[in-house]
Amino acid sequence: MNTPTTGEIRPNPTQATPEIHTATALSRVQPVNLDALPNSYLLTPVETGAILGVALQTLSTWRCTGRYDLKFIKSGRKVFYKAGDLRAFLERRTHTHTSQQGGKV
């Protein structure tokens, strides 16, 4: 077994991090029950991407361009999404038929 020496930090290969921009990261994230989370719960981009079914690069593009009104929190280099904001985003994007514009029901 390959054990790290004292002071050496080795990443956990089973733990996805927001810095990984691959489909593999999304496939390793544990399923999140959005309805069970309090509004203030902070989700990582990996968890958010898994819930929405979009790639991490897509979330990054949305943040950069403001294409969608998905609120996010930025602390240094880290990015988080509040569970309540994600629920509100999904509610605004819910339609009953294709002729509806802008998420208004």
Q: How confident is the model at residue 6 (pLDDT cuts 50, 70, 90)?
A: very low
pLDDT at 24 over 80: no
pLDDT at 8 over 80: no
Walk me through the domains of the chain, giving residue ranges and CATH numbers. Answer: 33-92 (1.10.1660)
Give the span between the Cα atoms of 49 and 21, in whole angstroms.
11
**Structure confidence by residue, pLDDT tens digits, 35-88:** 899 999 999 999 999 999 999 999 999 999 999 999 999 999 999 999 999 999
* Residue 41 burial class via C-beta count within 10 angstroms: exposed 0-12, middle 13-18, buried 19 and up: middle
pTM over 0.85? The answer is: no
